[in-house]
Structure 1
Amino acid sequence: MTPEIENAFVAIRSDHGADSLSRVERMLEPGGGAARHPLQKGAKWILPGLSPTPWHDPRAHPELIPVVQALESAHPVIRDELKSAWGARREAFSDYEHYLTRQTDWQALHLYRGGAMVEEAATTVPTAYKVLEEFAVDTEKICPLLESHFSTLLPGASIAPHCDLWNFSINLHLAVDIPDGCSITVAGETRTWQEGHCLLFDYSFEHEARNDGARPRTCLLVDLWHPETTIPERRALTVLISEIRRLMGEG
């Protein structure tokens, strides 16, 4: 670890106790500190002690219920604003650049990125922007290492099976505009989105998605802290990953 990481960890232990970062320290041991599910093999970091559950009930975690309820309640307005943006402000969308690939048939409109709200989105999709800021950002439920964006798969597009980088954040999908013929598979279990409702899953497990419908499929994606992580762990992981990215020249 770099001096910056070590000093931050010392400060966190001072605030929260000597054992507050034990799981993070185990994660950093050779081999990751714990066995992992075969369908998590592609993930880089696995924080020990988190439930190895691919699919989660969006209302099973009290911490996340306000986010889910707020997004679902606002869905009709969010959908209308998204459709207006797609029709009149297409330049606000860009090819989605996943850490593994870039796809022209996967479009994104970002609301939160680089640890902050994307101010341009406040006028493009104001309701989603306000709900996200109030219920996920201001409450520190969002993982600042990642993002929130409208994810639009064009007809015929597919996202190849892959694991994301770690298990200590979790992916919430609000189904905004869903044609027939769309599906998402996580750890071998395929589900469909129900418009106006949320799905929640651990994307350290292998997952894929496809749009076999006749029009674009759009979900609002929010990267939230895994509800089984603790406040000191979140502080430490933010410092750790940010410093690794800095050393790798990723900003």
Structure 2
Amino acid sequence: MSPNGSDFHLSKDAIERKLHEVIVSWGMSAFSSNIAYHWIRRAVNDGKGDSEWIHVRKWILLQLNGQRRSKHTSPWQLGCPEIIPLLQSRPIWKTSNLPWVESLESSFAVIKEELLGLQSKQGFQPYRAPSLDNDNQVSDKLGTAAHDRGEWNVFYLFLHNVDFSMNRSLCPQTVAIIESIESQYDHAFFSALAPHTHVKKHNGPTNKKLRCHLPLVVQKDQCRIRVGDELIKVEEGKCLVFDDSFEHEAWNDDPDHSRIVLIVDVWHPDLTREERRFFNFVRNAELRACKKYCKKDSSNFYSIIQAGKQSKKSSHDAIWK
């Protein structure tokens, strides 16, 4: 492997050592680390690195240089822990350029009907994030609240390889629609903001995906979302696609009614099929490592999701009011 960059002046052996150090930092098992190493070697040496693997190659080079992001990263993305270089970067995306949006919007009535059918079912749980400090810690000790007013509850369909098959069985048509999206990221859920809820400004974990909101239950002119420096009014039945690596926050200003949207993540359209396969392999290997150690660390996201799944403490009125 010989990275090409005028700012990278190391011997071949030193580069190989640094590459192994980078892979080890991902927290993979020895078996997965070995696969990742050979995958990267093949990716950058097969003569296609400038086309099919350009984003993976640049991402690896950043890490070999001890950098988290390129100098061209938007100030609005500085809170995102993983920025893949050279991906088109904009807070809001035009849905006309994303053909899968039509399938979601045309299925609005079917999806909403299945959502409303959940009113007498279990499955919603409070949204929680890992506890990085003492701010907004909650009484149930399940991580940290991501909102500073109101309540935020979620009904997971796909998330981090956690078994939500029971939830999926309650809305099979919605699941089929999501699975029909070739670029779906295996991360989808219903998100309910109670009346007068504000989700604090935050950044998503990576720019290698886009986030789509399909608003299902929204009171007119009462719900907003800010992504970067753009403020958008949420409209029922109209998809909003944005890059959640940009700082964003959301409001349900209605005093009497909840706001519920279907959230579906998709791979960034600039990534090639091979790059998706690679990044998905890395993500799944990291998740397996996280699951392995979750019993030793109750503060990681996987442990919090599992604990929240078992708690079933979501308020019915906070979701369905």
Settle same-fold status: TM greater than 0.5. Answer: yes
Match of 2:111 among 61, 68, 78: 78
By how many angstroms is 1:122 displaced? 3.6
CA 1:190–1:18 in structure 2 vs 1: closer, same or farther (change >3 Å)?
Answer: closer
Distance in 2 of aligned mates of 1:99 and 1:233: 28
Q: Is residue 2:59 matched to residue 1:24? A: yes
Contact 1:178 1:218 in 2 (8 A): yes
Q: Which residue of 1 aligns with 2:37?
A: 6
Quick check: 2:110–2:173 contact (8 Å CA) kept in 1? Answer: yes
The equivalent residue for 2:232 is 191
Equivalent positions of 1:40-59 (< 5 A) are 40-59=77-96
Residues 1:230 and 1:80: Cα distance change in structure 2 (over 3 Å) = same
Q: Distance in 1 between matches of 2:130 and 2:46?
A: 34
C-alpha separation between the residues in 2 aligned to 1:158 and 1:107? 12
Q: Which has the higher contact order (CA 8 A, sep 6+)?
A: 1
- Is the counterpart of residue 153 in structure 1 residue 193 in structure 2? yes
The residue aligned with 1:178 is 218
Aligned-partner residue type, residue 231 of structure 2: T
Structure 1 CA distance for aligned equivalents of residues 162 and 128 of structure 2: 18
Instruction: In structure 1, give the amino acid aligned to 2:241.
Output: L
Task: Kindly indicate whether residue 145 of structure 2 is the aligned counterpart of residue 102 of structure 1.
Answer: yes
Do the aligned partners of 1:175 and 1:219 also contact (CA within 8 Å) in 2? yes
Q: What residue identity is the alignment partner of 2:155?
A: L
Q: Is contact 1:185-1:208 (8 Å) kept?
A: yes
Structure 1 residue 127: deviation in Å? 2.0
209 and 33 in structure 1: CA distance in 2 versus 1, 3 angstrom threshold: closer
Q: In the alignment, is the contact (CA less than 8 A) between 1:58 and 1:68 conserved in 2?
A: yes
Distance 1:179 1:244 in 2: 40
Q: Output one character per residue of 1:90-139: Cα deviation in whole Å (capped at 9) or x when no partner.
A: x2111112457336811111111234783223432222112112x22xx2
Partner of 1:239: 281
Q: Determine the C-alpha separation between the residues in 2 that align with 1:54 and 1:162.
A: 13
- State the distance in 1 between where 2:125 and 2:62 align: 35
Which residue does the alignment assign to 2:307? Answer: none
Q: More strand per residue: 1 or 2?
A: 1
Match of 1:164 among 204, 221, 243: 204
Alpha-carbon contact 1:152-1:218 (below 8 Å) kept: yes
User: Aligned partners of 2:272 and 2:130: how far apart in 1?
Assistant: 26
**In 2, are the aligned partners of 1:26 and 1:32 still within 8 Å (CA)?**
no
**Identical counterparts, % of pairs:** 26
Q: Distance in 1 between matches of 2:172 and 2:287?
A: 31
Secondary structure in structure 1 of the residue aligned to 2:151: strand
Matching residue's letter, 2:160? G
Q: Paired residues, what number?
A: 239
Question: Unaligned 5+ residue runs, structure 1?
Answer: none
- Kindly report which structure 2 residues correspond to 1:113-124, keeping only aligned pairs within 5 A, or say none: 113-115=159-161, 118-124=164-170
Pairing 1:229–2:259 present: no
For 1:117-132, what aligned pairs fall within 5 Å after superposition?
Answer: 118-132=164-178
Q: Are residue 34 (structure 1) and residue 104 (structure 2) matched?
A: no
CA displacement at 1:11 relative to structure 2: 4.7
Q: Given residue 123 of structure 1, which amino acid in structure 2 is its aligned partner? A: S
Quote the Cα distance in structure 2 between the aligned partners of 1:184 and 1:203: 11
Q: Deviations over 1:39-96 (max 9, x none)?
A: 11100111111122010012213xxx1x3111111111211221221x211x211111
**3-state secondary structure, aligned to 2:117:** helix
Could you tell me how far 1:241 is from its partner in structure 2? Answer: 3.2
| Max Rg structure | 2
- TM-score normalised over the length of structure 1: 0.85
Offset at residue 15 of structure 1 (A): 7.0
